[in-house]
Amino acid sequence: MRTRLRKGLVAATMSLVVAAGVAVRPAPASAAVPWTQIAVAVASYLFSNSGGGGDLERAKQEIIAAINASRDQIISEIDRLASADVRACAEAATTLVNQIDLMDDFTLSVFALDAVECASLSTAYFDAVTDKTQADRIGMLMGEIFAIAMVGFRKMGFPATDLLAQLIRGYEAIVVKLAPTCQETTLREYDDRGRLVTVEIQYTCVAYNGHTGFGSELYYLGRLVTPPLDRAQVSADATRNTSRGVAMAALPQLRALQA
């Protein structure tokens, strides 16, 4: 029943697009996806309004513009997901959100509820998958999927606070699951009389994709002579090109909106 309903939604929406003469132009393949800012920008418009109502129109424009600017890359990431369910619902949400203003009440309600279900599926899939490459792929798309769900839910007149909380928990799970493997080494140098002269602490982190981060601090005769070692930053450097980097950049802003 649910599958037939989704097919009906797609058909109904596509007929609206044809009737309205709306053409969706794919972005150049080189367009960069603003993974961090997609969810942050949408959530900011929905939750930062001092009057409490938020700015749904600006949030809607933000997600549509982000998708249209980087459509090819987003669809490419979706196509690489191993989960057929998440792949299908993410592609449908990404394609149909452009026509959200053309939807009648019934079509909008099915679209919004499917988008919310897809957001929940994305976090469940992330929690269940053991392959870190697949975890990273869904982690990269999680913000976009939740942004669409939040806009759809708010357009129906429902609050999206629970979706924001779910996205924060999803991003927190990404930070933990995709944490790099780190190793600390201490190097000591002695003078001719056996006195300890220098101590260097080296810290290296390696992400699942092989990217590394490195930091160190040096002591001379017991005194620190370099900036102190920032282990958290080294860890972040190693995962800067993964969805962990996206999550770490977005979390402080999302938590501030939740407060």
CB contact at 8 A, 221 and 13: no
Same domain, 188 and 131: no
Q: Tell me the angle at which helices 161-177 and 132-155 cross, rounded to the nearest 10 degrees.
A: 170
DSSP H or E stretch at residue 212: strand 212-220
Residue 24, pLDDT score? 36
Maximum Cα–Cα distance for the chain, whole Å?
89
> What pLDDT does residue 54 have?
72
Q: Decide: 241 and 209 in contact? Cβ < 8 Å.
A: yes
Number of domains in the chain: 2
Mark the ranges of the chain whose per-residue pLDDT is less than 50.
1-31, 50-52
Q: Give yes or no: residues 194 and 169 share one domain.
A: no
- The answer on 195 and 168 residing in a single domain is no
Q: Is 104 helix (H, G, I), strand (E, B) or coil?
A: coil
CB neighbour burial string for 22-37, b if at least 16 within 10 angstroms, e if fewer: eeeeebeeeeebbbbb
CA count, 13 A, side-chain hemisphere, 182: 20
Tell whether 223 and 249 lie within a shared domain.
no
The reported pLDDT for the residue numbered 29 is: 37
Domain shared by 96 and 26, yes or no: yes
Residues 105 and 205 in one domain: no
- pLDDT score at 33: 83
* Structure confidence at residue 20 (pLDDT): 37
What is the crossing angle of helices 35-47 and 161-177, to 10°? 150
β-partners of residue 206 are 181, 212
Same domain (yes/no): 115, 224: no
- pLDDT for 53 equals 57
Query: Based on the domain organization, do 231 and 150 belong to the same domain?
Result: no
Assess whether 172 and 189 both reside in one domain.
Answer: no
Query: Is residue 169 domain-shared with residue 232, that is, in the same domain?
Result: no
User: Is 208 within 8 Å of 226 (Cβ atoms)?
Assistant: no
Task: Note the pLDDT of residue 23.
Answer: 37
Do residues 97 and 77 both lie within one domain? Answer: yes
In this structure, what DSSP letter does residue 157 have?
T
Q: Domain check: are 203 and 158 in the same one?
A: no
- 186: containing domain: 181-238
